[in-house]
Structure 1
């Protein structure tokens, strides 16, 4: 993978972990996620209007991606309500990594050599190691199921967006995708909660814009990278966000630093190195 593309994906991973941490700060998971999605739409709207409308051929792809996003949001909120970031995040992202790589390589026939597959395997191992301590906790069964469900959704929208990004300018596609996501979420919340859904927005509009900007830029960078490198490799490197997420969990959320998280960090570095050599 080209160094510039690798650095872009690592920046995307850092931003990806950052907005996930926001879900655990100050607000309940539903309100925090709602703020991030709406904030992302608000940040994306002027960009979308400036760039112009997407090509008509991209609309079905956008519809499929939005459906997968909504599934991801629902599963992620449910999982975070039942377990901490250190468990949910690795399972969700690790499952997505393995499924995305498998489909991209075996079904889409992406040209990935053995060294790239080895890097993917190490990154997958890093996220599984991070979640290993919670494997036998029966009380976490629902959280793990929802986390895996979010991983399936991530796989779906990663493949959809990676393909669609190659069909047209990724900036236009991503901007309008985020606007569409925000509109759908806003309408759904309005029908469910009425005007009350706006209360968290009024109180935390700054958090909404910061988190939304992180989500939007992270996703934009990832879709762009998928136009320059195999989807499977980009998806794998982006899961370096597990390393960043573990760091944020310790430093920001005051979760305990565990030995498996240190091992996961070593595996992430080794995996990214192999993919860079691909």
Structure 2
């Protein structure tokens, strides 16, 4: 992997952590999340005229993934209402590859190194859970973070199948952004009401910045995978866990206990090792 590709993947990891932190800083997490999906949808729509259409066989997967993405964003906003990003983000991003690996275990037996990696992620999650805060709040936040991880694992599996059938990975991704940005506000029309338009007008940077960050993060990863081993790129993206905890401590001023730092490092190491395995 060249230095330029390495820097780009690390930048993608930072962007992913940054747009999550942006949602956490907003008073209304739901509207902030819908704004990010709207911004990403706008970028997806702008890109589609210049991209070839995905193959017909991939459209059921695009539809299924779009619905899962809506569930992901709604769970994400609920998670950040309940708990700190330094608690939730490592659990969400670390548990997802574990769930994907376990789902694939029926087709491919787990290797000893992968079992060890899963153990590291589980140990890190336990350390984070025990690392401070009221028990009731920890339970709610952990449950929501793990539910979000389950949805991440589900759309990862769906996209893994769909993008191979699409023949056009960039267009597949652009359609996902567009459909998610349309469906998410519809799913929340009762809760968000007519407030989203006013929010977008008042906070355009949340939509444009967050949408650009999520699109760039995913796009950079896809580009890097064409130039470097997929497993190495995927492993490096797990540095987003470390970036998220650093942002939580130094920018958001969360009280990040040593247990959370240790747990996040264990999860990041385990998730990266699992990707490489």
Give the TM-score of the pair, scaled to structure 1. 0.82
Indicate the SS of the match to 2:24.
coil
1:25 aligns with 2:56: no
Q: 1:161 aligns with which of 156, 159, 162?
A: 159
What residue number does 1:196 align with? 195
Deviation at 1:99, TM superposition (A): 0.5
What pairs up with 1:248-259 in 2 under 5 angstroms? Answer: 248-259=247-258
Deviation at 1:205, TM superposition (A): 1.0
Aligned Cα RMSD in Å?
3.3
Cα distance in structure 1, aligned partners of 2:96 and 2:38: 24
Cα distance in structure 2, aligned partners of 1:57 and 1:70: 22
Range moving further from structure 2, 113-122 or 22-31? 113-122
What residue number does 2:84 align with? 84
Give deviations 1:193-248, integer Å, cap 9, x for gaps: 443321110011122111111111222344566787567x7655533321111001
Number of residue pairs aligned between Structure 1 and Structure 2: 274
What pairs up with 1:6-21 in 2 under 5 angstroms? Answer: 9-21=9-21
Name structure 2 gaps, 5 residues minimum. Answer: none
Deviation at 1:153, TM superposition (A): 0.2
Name structure 1 gaps, 5 residues minimum. Answer: none
What residue number does 2:177 align with? 178
Q: 1:138 aligns with which of 136, 139, 152?
A: 136
CA shift in 2, pair 1:214/1:125, >3 Å: farther
2:82/2:141 contact within 8 Å kept: yes
Cα distance in structure 2, aligned partners of 1:6 and 1:125: 28
1:170/1:224 contact within 8 Å kept: no
CA shift in 2, pair 1:86/1:53, >3 Å: same
2:129/2:142 contact within 8 Å kept: no
Cα distance in structure 2, aligned partners of 1:120 and 1:236: 14
Cα distance in structure 1, aligned partners of 2:126 and 2:224: 25
1:52 aligns with 2:73: no
Cα distance in structure 1, aligned partners of 2:64 and 2:229: 22
Cα distance in structure 2, aligned partners of 1:8 and 1:114: 31
Cα distance in structure 2, aligned partners of 1:20 and 1:215: 9
Cα distance in structure 1, aligned partners of 2:138 and 2:258: 20
